[in-house]
Each structure stands twice: as C-alpha cells, then as structure tokens.
C-alpha cells in the first residue's frame, strides 16, 4: 500500500517536470487549461486584519486540494490524518491572504513533552517561473515555506514566552532559575538563547514561520522577513489565514504580484497523531494560483 502511494507521489513529482526546465526559466508558468487553479480576487482589504471567519472569503472561489500521507522519505506517515484542505484566497495588492480550512476535531496547541501541535504550511517557488522539487526544493531551485503553528499562536496570544506551566498547569518547582539569575538564567534556555525561531525568543513575532529551503534538511527561517497568520478552531475544524506581503520591502515570494501566476503546495500536521516534520499530510503536486489584477 505504502509503496503504491510512494510510486504515485513520485509520478506526481515527475509530472511537475524537471526543476531546471528552460521553458520555465524567468517566466511565471501559465496554468494549463482545466487544471484546478486557486484564484485570488482583489478585495479592498486583505492582510493581517482579515480574520479567518471573515465573510470576505465567502465570495472567493474555493478549491479543495487532496492530501496524501508523506510516504516518500523516512520517517513516513503511514496514514492520512487530513485527507483534504479547502483553500480560498484574496489579495488587496499589498497582501495575499490564503484561508485554509480542514477538518480536525481535536485542538492541539500545546507543546508538552509528548504532545504535538497542529500546523499547516504553504510552499512557493523562491524563484519566479521555476518548478522546484516539491519536496523542499533543491539546490538550484529554493522554495519559500510559510508554516503556521497552533502552539506558537497560543503563546503569542498569551503574550509571554512559553513556560512549562502552560503545558503543565499544576506543576511546581522548588527553584526558579529566572528568580535566581535574572537574565543570566537565559543561558539555560539553549535554543532560545541562540535565537532559534521555534523557541519564540521574540514574543511579538508571528505565528507563521517564514522559511526558505533548498533540499531536504535545509529548511531555515528568514531572520527578518515575516508572514502573518491566525487560526481559529471551532471544535470540529481549523480555519487558518496566512498573510503574505506582496512586493515591497517585505516581499517574501518574489514574483507574487497582482496579475501573476505561480504555484504552491500544502502540508498539514495533526498534533493528535504526533505529526511533525516529515510525518504529515501533503499535496504531492503543485497547485496553480493566479492573482487577479
């Protein structure tokens, strides 16, 4: 079964064409006729102010993207936790807002020792007109990965950096290193001390990690570029918006401007099933997107 799916995924990759195809160089690919395309219509205001439940999305066309379990590289995900994701998009010339919706009847927004958070990510080619390897790009064709994280958002909403008591409200400790050492205690916060973005060293940052990758194991966060986002869980499903700045100084995805075509891919992680990293549901083929003028 897994092998069959892996082969299908590889075929899907092959169908995307060679990553350095001269046909695609420097030109945004036009969606082939009849290929389902996400169309982002122009609205008066997109961007961070647009809530996931905003009625603006009701008028945007919805595209349902099928997801498969990631079974190409180990560790693999044997089963799809999230078989479909519904996508709507709008833009206002400054921001492209993607609204992502999927069924998930458990809210996982803590990161305890053995619990995992719900996440969703978008992947775009970093270089306009290229069709990178959909699995994290490749050395010549990097990709931009924008990943919204539920526990990250929960911490930002609380307005304080993560603490053990957030995951374990009834815990007690006899010594608090922060009380003893003040800021010097930060050396015992290894990852946060060295600025690891997943440690949320800046509580005022975004729930969305803006990252770049050029092949397996290369995913790295941008230091300054940001995307915004917000997720709302209603007990049965997630609705998440990811806001991508278009052009200008904040530009994240070069070439992604009104009137342009691009491609993107999706991945969803279900914390309840301990999904993280390569253990995920993903769209093994690029989906075209068009931003209306």
Partner 1 sequence: MPKVYNWQLGREMDYPYNGIRPKRQVALIMDTNKCIACQTCTVICKTTWTPGRGQEHMLWNNVESKPYGFYPLGWDVKILEQHGVQPLDGDTYAGKTIFESAPANEIALGYIPGDQDYAHPNVGEDDSFGNMTRGAHLSMQHNQWMFYLPRICNHCTYPSCLASCSRQSIYKRPEDGVVLIDQERCRGYRECVKNCPYKKSFFNPVTRASEKCIGCYPKIEKGHQTQCTTSCIGKIRMTGFISTPDKAREDNPMDYIVHHAKLALPLYPQFGLEPNVYYIPPIHVPPPFLHQMFGRKTAAAIATYRKAAQDEKLLGALLLFGATERIIHRYKVEGGQTIGYDETDTEVVRVPLVEPVKIRPVWDEAHGAYRTNVT
From candidates 41, 185, 247, 258, binder to partner 1 by CB under 8 A: 185
Between residue 261 and residue 280, which ones bind partner 1 under the rule CB under 8 A? 274, 276-278
How far is the C-alpha of 42 from the C-alpha of 59, rounded, in Å?
11
| Contact flag: residue 113 with partner 1 (CB under 8 A) | yes
Q: What angle do CA 37, 148, 257 make, to 5 degrees?
A: 45
Closest CA to 243 of 42, 98, 44: 98
Tell me which of 2, 10, 49, 53 binds partner 1, using CB under 8 A.
Answer: 2
Which of 167, 232, 250, 260 is close enough to bind partner 1 by CB under 8 A? 167
Q: Which of 17, 36, 61, 78 binds partner 1 (CB under 8 A)?
A: 78
Number of continuous H segments (helices) and E segments (strands) in the chain: 5, 14
Instruction: Please tell me whether residue 112 binds partner 1 under the rule CB under 8 A.
Output: yes
Site for partner 1 contains 178 (CB under 8 A): yes
- Whose Cβ is closer to partner 1: residue 76's or residue 94's? 76
Q: Given the complex with partner 1, which of 40 and 208 has the nearer CB atom?
A: 208
- Is 176 a binding residue for partner 1 by CB under 8 A? The answer is yes
Q: Which of 86, 189, 232, 250 binds partner 1 (CB under 8 A)?
A: 189
**Long-range Cβ contact pairs of 272-279 (< 8 A, separation 24 or more):** 272/81, 272/104, 272/106, 272/108, 272/116, 273/79, 273/81, 274/116, 275/77, 275/81, 275/116, 276/116, 276/119, 277/75, 278/70, 278/73, 278/74, 278/75, 278/76, 278/77, 279/70, 279/75, 279/76, 279/77
Q: Which region, judged by CB under 8 A, interacts with partner 1, from 40-48, 97-105, 169-177, 281-289?
A: 169-177
Q: Is 8 in the site for partner 1 (CB under 8 A)?
A: no
Closer CB to partner 1, 220 or 234, in the complex: 220
Task: Calculate the alpha carbon distances from 131 to 30, 157, 161, 265 in Å.
Answer: 12, 36, 38, 11
Local structure of residue 61 (DSSP, 8 states): P
Tell me whether residue 178 or residue 247 sits nearer to partner 1 (CB atom): 178
Give residues 207-266 in contact with partner 1 (rule: CB under 8 A).
216-217, 219-220
CA-angle at 244, arms to 25 and 123, nearest 5°: 50
* Whole-number Å distance between alpha carbons of 142 and 131: 10
How much of the chain is helix, strand and coil, in % rounded to 5? 20, 30, 55
The binding track of 45-74 with respect to partner 1, each residue x by CB under 8 A or -, is --------------------------x-xx
Dist. CA 107–CA 105, nearest whole Å? 7
Residue of 39, 41, 51, 76 interacting with partner 1 (CB under 8 A): 76
Binding part of the chain for partner 1, among 20-28, 32-40, 185-193, 232-240 by CB under 8 A, reads 185-193
Instruction: Round to whole Å and give the CA distance between 35 and 49.
Output: 31
Residues of this chain that interact with partner 1 (CB under 8 A) are 2, 71, 73-78, 111-114, 151, 161-164, 167-168, 171, 173, 175-178, 185, 187-196, 198-200, 216-217, 219-220, 274, 276-278
């Amino acid at each position: 079964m897994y092998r069959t799916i892996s082969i299908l995924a590889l075929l899907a990759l092959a169908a995307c064409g060679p990553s350095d195809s001269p046909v695609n160089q420097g030109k945004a690919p036009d969606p082939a006729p009849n290929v389902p395309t996400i169309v982002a219509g122009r609205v008066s205001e997109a961007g961070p102010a647009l809530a996931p439940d905003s009625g603006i999305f009701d008028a945007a066309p919805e595209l349902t993207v099928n997801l498969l379990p990631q079974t190409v590289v180990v560790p693999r995900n044997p089963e799809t936790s999230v078989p479909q994701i519904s996508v709507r998009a709008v833009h206002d010339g400054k921001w492209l807002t993607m609204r992502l919706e999927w069924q998930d009847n458990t809210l996982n927004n803590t990161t305890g020792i053995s619990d995992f958070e719900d996440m969703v990510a978008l992947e775009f080619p970093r270089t306009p007109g290229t069709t990178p390897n959909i699995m994290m790009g490749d050395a010549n064709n990097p990709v931009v990965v924008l990943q919204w994280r539920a526990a990250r958002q929960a911490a930002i909403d609380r307005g304080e950096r993560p603490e053990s008591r957030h995951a374990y409200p009834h815990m007690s400790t006899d010594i608090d290193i922060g009380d003893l050492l003040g800021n010097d205690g930060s050396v015992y916060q290894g990852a946060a001390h060295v600025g690891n973005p997943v440690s949320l060293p800046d509580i005022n940052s975004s729930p969305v990690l803006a990252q770049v990758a050029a092949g397996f194991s290369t995913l790295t966060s941008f230091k300054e570029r940001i995307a915004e986002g917000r997720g709302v869980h209603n007990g049965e499903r997630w609705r998440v918006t990811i806001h991508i700045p278009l052009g200008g100084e904040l530009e994240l995805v070069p070439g992604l401007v009104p009137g342009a075509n691009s491609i993107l891919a999706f991945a969803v992680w279900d914390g309840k099933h301990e999904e993280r990293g390569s253990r995920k549901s993903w769209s093994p083929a690029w989906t075209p997107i068009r931003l209306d003028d």
